[in-house]
Structure 1
Amino acid sequence: MSAAVRALPLTAVQESMWTAYRIAPDSAAYNIVMPLRLRGRVDVAAMDAAIASVGHRQELLRSVFVERDGRPVRVAADAPVVRLEFRDLAGAGEEELFRAAEEAGARPFRLESGTFRVVLLRRTDDDWALVTSAHHIVSDFTSRWLLVRDVLDAYAGHAAGTAPAWRPLTSSYTEYADGELRYTASEAGVRAAEEWRAAVRGAAPAELPLDRPRPRVRSLRGDTVVRRLDAESAEGLGGAAHAAGVTPFAFLLAVFQALTHRWTGQDDFLLGVPASARSGRGQRDLIGCFLNTMPVRAEFGPDTTFRSAAAQAGERVMRGMLGVRFPCRLAFRDTVLFRAALFLVQMDRMEPPVPNVPPGAAVGPSVRYAGLDIALIDVPQQEGQLDLLLRIEQTPDGVTAVFSYDTDVLDRASVERFADGYERLLAAAVRDPETRVADVDLAGAADLDAVLALGDATGFADSFDTSYDTFESFENAWDHR
Structure 2
Amino acid sequence: RIKETVVTALQDAGGDTTLRAYVVPAQTLTTEQIYDYLQAELPSYMIPQFVIVLEALPLTPNGKVDRKALPVPSEELAQAEEQAAEAELQDETEQQLLKLWQEVLGIRKAGRKDSFFRLGGHSLKAVALLSRIKKTFGVAIPIHTLFRQPTIQQLAEVIRHSPKTSVASILPAGGQEYYRLSSEQERLYVLEQFEHVGTAYNVPWAAHVSGPFDAARCQQAFAALSLRHETLRTCFELIGDTVLQKVLPKADGFFTYEEASGAAPDQLIRQFVRPFDLRVGPLFRVKVIRLGAEEHLLLLDMHHIIADGISLQIVLQEFAALYNEGKTLEPLPMQYKDYANWQCKHRETLQSQEKYWLDVLQGELPVLNLPLDYPRPPLQSFAGDKITARLDTSLVGKLRQVAEETDTTLYMVLLAAYHVLLHKYTGQTDIIVGSPIAGRPQAEFEHLVGMFVNTLALRNFPHPDKPFRTFLAEVRESCLQAYEHQEWPFEKLVEKLQPTRDLSRNPLFDTMFVLQNMENSLPSLPGVELVALPINSQSSQFDLMLEAVEQAGSLQLNLEFCTKLFAPRTMEKLLSHYVNLLAQLVQDADQRLIDMDMLSA
Question: TM over 0.5, yes or no?
Answer: yes
Q: Give the aligned residue type for 1:377.
A: L
Task: Kindly tell me the number of residue pairs found equivalent between the two proteins.
Answer: 421
* Residue 334 (structure 2) aligned to one of 156, 160, 171: 171
Q: In 1, Cα distance between the equivalents of 2:450 and 2:596? A: 42
Q: Give the aligned residue type for 1:142.
A: I
Q: Is the 8 A contact 2:229 2:449 kept in 1?
A: yes
Larger RCO (CA within 8 A; separation ≥ 6): 1
CA offset digits 1:116-166 (Å, max 9, x no partner): 111112112321121111111111111111111122211112xxxx3x421
Q: Which has more radius of gyration? A: 2
* Residue 370 (structure 2) aligned to one of 208, 227, 249: 208
Q: Is the 8 A contact 1:25 1:110 kept in 2?
A: no
Cα RMSD between the aligned structures? 2.1
- Look up the match of 2:354: 193
* Residue 563 (structure 2) aligned to one of 364, 383, 407: 407
Shift of 1:353: 5.6
Q: Give the aligned residue type for 1:149.
A: Q
3-state SS in 1 of match to 2:178: strand
Indicate how the Cα distance of structure 1 residues 177 and 382 shifts in structure 2: closer, same or farther if over 3 A, else same.
farther
3-state SS in 2 of match to 1:332: helix
Shift of 1:69: 0.8
Indicate how the Cα distance of structure 1 residues 30 and 254 shifts in structure 2: closer, same or farther if over 3 A, else same.
same
Shift of 1:427: 0.7
How much identity, in percent, do the aligned residues show?
A: 24
Q: Give the aligned residue type for 1:10.
A: L
Shift of 1:443: 2.9
- Look up the match of 2:113: none
Q: In 2, Cα distance between the equivalents of 1:379 and 1:318? A: 32
3-state SS in 2 of match to 1:6: coil
Q: Is the 8 A contact 2:287 2:299 kept in 1?
A: yes
Deviates more, 1:200-209 or 1:225-234: 200-209
* Residue 267 (structure 2) aligned to one of 78, 81, 99: 99
- Look up the match of 1:134: 302
Indicate how the Cα distance of structure 1 residues 51 and 82 shifts in structure 2: closer, same or farther if over 3 A, else same.
farther
Q: In 1, Cα distance between the equivalents of 2:446 and 2:515? A: 18
Residue 260 of structure 1 pairs with residue 428 of structure 2: no
Residue 281 of structure 1 pairs with residue 449 of structure 2: no
Shift of 1:235: 2.7
Q: Is the 8 A contact 1:170 1:282 kept in 2?
A: yes
- Look up the match of 1:461: none
Structure 2 gap ranges (5+): 1-174
Q: Is the 8 A contact 2:367 2:509 kept in 1?
A: yes
CA offset digits 1:39-77 (Å, max 9, x no partner): 211112111111110010011111012211133221211
Indicate how the Cα distance of structure 1 residues 296 and 192 shifts in structure 2: closer, same or farther if over 3 A, else same.
same
- Look up the match of 1:443: 599
Structure 1 gap ranges (5+): 358-367, 446-481
Q: Give the aligned residue type for 2:301.
A: S
Indicate how the Cα distance of structure 1 residues 399 and 346 shifts in structure 2: closer, same or farther if over 3 A, else same.
same
Residue 14 of structure 1 pairs with residue 185 of structure 2: yes
Q: Is the 8 A contact 1:63 1:81 kept in 2?
A: no
3-state SS in 1 of match to 2:419: helix
Q: Is the 8 A contact 2:207 2:530 kept in 1?
A: yes
Q: In 1, Cα distance between the equivalents of 2:291 and 2:176? A: 39
Q: Give the aligned residue type for 1:296.
A: L
Q: Is the 8 A contact 2:233 2:251 kept in 1?
A: yes
CA offset digits 1:97-129 (Å, max 9, x no partner): 23313432x211111113211111211232112
Shift of 1:205: 4.4
Indicate how the Cα distance of structure 1 residues 84 and 396 shifts in structure 2: closer, same or farther if over 3 A, else same.
farther
Q: Give the aligned residue type for 1:285.
A: H
- Look up the match of 2:21: none
- Look up the match of 2:510: 344
Shift of 1:227: 0.8
Shift of 1:428: 0.5
Q: In 1, Cα distance between the equivalents of 2:479 and 2:569? A: 31
CA offset digits 1:363-413 (Å, max 9, x no partner): xxxxx5333212211112483100000110112472111010111222222
Shift of 1:209: 2.6
Q: In 2, Cα distance between the equivalents of 1:118 and 1:25? A: 24
- Look up the match of 1:61: 232
Q: Give the aligned residue type for 2:271.
A: E
Q: Is the 8 A contact 2:234 2:245 kept in 1?
A: yes
Q: In 2, Cα distance between the equivalents of 1:242 and 1:207? A: 33
Q: Give the aligned residue type for 1:166.
A: L
Shift of 1:28: 0.7
Indicate how the Cα distance of structure 1 residues 87 and 305 shifts in structure 2: closer, same or farther if over 3 A, else same.
farther
TM-score for the superposition, normalised by structure 1: 0.83
Please identify which structure carries the higher strand content: 1
Indicate how the Cα distance of structure 1 residues 337 and 389 shifts in structure 2: closer, same or farther if over 3 A, else same.
same
